[in-house]
Amino acid sequence: MLQGALRDARLLLEELIAFGVRPDVVVVHSANNELYYNRVRILDEHHYPTKQRLKGLRTISRIADVIYQNAGSQVPAAPEKLRALYPLSEPDRQLLLQSYEADLRTIVRLCHQHGIPLVLTTVPINRDFWAPHFARHPIPGAGDAVAVAAREKALKGTEHFYNGNLGEAREAFESALSTLPNDPYCHFYLGRILLADGQTEQALEHLELAIQYDTFRPVRATPDHNQILRQVAESESLPLIDFDRLLLDKHGIAGKKLFIDNCHGRPHTYIEMGVFLAEALIKKKLIPGLPVEPVGNLSEALKADRSISEESLKRVRALVEPLQDEDSPFLKEWEETRNE
């Protein structure tokens, strides 16, 4: 299900089974949309359960709307305003992760009950080539002169970073983080500096913290989502194709090489994922009755058409622009590499 969240997949599977349709196989490849596209729905259900119960009574749904609208609700209708109402605080992030796991385990239970083969996959994460939005992250204790000074240090660190002065940049970001320990922007650039210095494990820690604390628009999977998939696969004895670890093991932290934007891979990234998938499904015989196709032949077929059209690039550009400042140095860096 393209552009859907796991909740949509669960509801679809339930509806298919209710209508007597038994899928030959279910493959779960999900998590990029969970914290952004699914945020409003899940948090609205949590914070306003009465509305959801009334909505469930389809025959009186109009009455439910009238009751709800006159019950003092502060929830606006526009999706963007709803997202603004639900900033991704740590409690809300944990709630979304719990909902994701609950939906995943429901899918597992349904597949077990109806004898449907199920395969889980992780989602590759762009860790080092997608900057958190600096300007739109609120300064903790707004008006606090110390916090403002820390932000100024971060801006100076960015200037040093793009001028190639990585030592000075590191000092600036470390100093800013001593005041703003959860700032995603500082974690992101400090991680990239450590990566350039060959300190991969330390870099990975900071880059993943940047994703965790990116409360504005985390339109990508997080390490937490992939960890849930791994844990469920292990506890339920399910086959798992761990795309994220496979690509990390092969390429290291290489966002610029593997991704065209925040979460979408370059053509060769999907080719590699396709080969990983073929090897798992065919060589390990994860799905009974699947016809055998030499993996090498499949790889060549995938490589036959691997260009990115200009139309696709325009769509990517339309997505990226609103998520970064117009004068962002990162945006300029991204622009230089998107056609590579």
- Helices 267-278, 243-251: axis angle to 10 degrees equals 120
pLDDT at residue 319, rounded to an integer? 73
| CATH number of residue 193's parent domain | 1.25.40.10
- 66 in a structural domain: no
Both 228 and 104 in a single domain? yes
- Both 288 and 143 in one domain: the answer is no
Does residue 142 lie within any of the structural domains?
yes
Name the domain boundary from 192, 219, 246.
Answer: 219
- When mean pLDDT is compared across 51-55, 134-138, 253-257, 299-303, the lowest value belongs to 51-55
Q: Return the residue matching tokens 């945020």.
A: 39
Q: Do 146 and 242 share a domain, yes or no? A: no
In a domain, 149, yes or no: yes
Residue owning tokens 């660190």: 157
pLDDT tens, 308-319?
777 877 877 777
Stronger pLDDT, 173 or 268, i.e. the higher one: 173
Q: Starting at the earlier edge strand, list the strands of the sheet with 118-121.
A: 26-29, 118-121, 240-241
Q: How far is Cα 278 from Cα 262, in angstroms, rounded to an integer?
A: 26
Quick one: 15 and 115 in the same domain? yes
- What the block records as the tokens of 240 is 């798992």
> Which residues form the domain of 281?
6-35+88-128+220-307
pLDDT of residue 76: 47
If you compute the radius of gyration of the chain from its CA atoms, what whole number of angstroms results? Answer: 22
Q: What is the pLDDT of residue 220?
A: 84
Q: Does residue 319 form part of some domain?
A: no
Cα–Cα distance measured from residue 223 to residue 304, given in angstroms and rounded to the nearest whole number: 32
Residue 258 lies in a domain: yes
| Domain C-terminal end among 189, 219, 249 | 219
**What does the pLDDT read at residue 105?**
98
Percent of the chain past pLDDT 90, that is, above it, reads: 45
pLDDT at 321: 75
Three-state DSSP class for 118?
A: strand
The string of pLDDT tens digits covering residues 132-177 is 877 666 666 545 788 888 889 999 999 999 999 999 999 999 999 9
Structural domain contains residue 30: yes
Number of domains in the chain: 2
Two tokens at 131? Answer: 């900057």
The reply to whether 166 and 290 lie within a common domain is no
Shared-domain flag, residues 119 and 235: yes
Arithmetic mean of pLDDT, 93-115 = 95
Give a yes or no: residue 1 inside a domain: no
Query: Domain check: are 10 and 104 in the same one?
Result: yes
Is residue 301 very low, low, confident or very high in pLDDT (cuts 50, 70, 90)? Answer: low
31 phi and psi angles, rounded to 5 deg: 145, -20
Contact 130, 262 (CB under 8 A): yes
DSSP 48-94: -HHHHHHHH-GGGHHHHHHHHHTTT----SSHHHHHHHS---HHHHH
In a domain, 338, yes or no: no
Mean pLDDT across the chain: 83
pLDDT score for 269: 92
pLDDT at 132: 87
The region of weakest confidence among 15-24, 87-96, 111-120, 230-239 is 87-96
Please name which of 124, 177, 122, 188 lies closest in space to residue 153, comparing C-alpha atoms: 177
Residues 139 and 93 in one domain: no
Give the confidence band of 92 by pLDDT, cuts at 50, 70, 90: confident
Position 75 scores a pLDDT of: 47
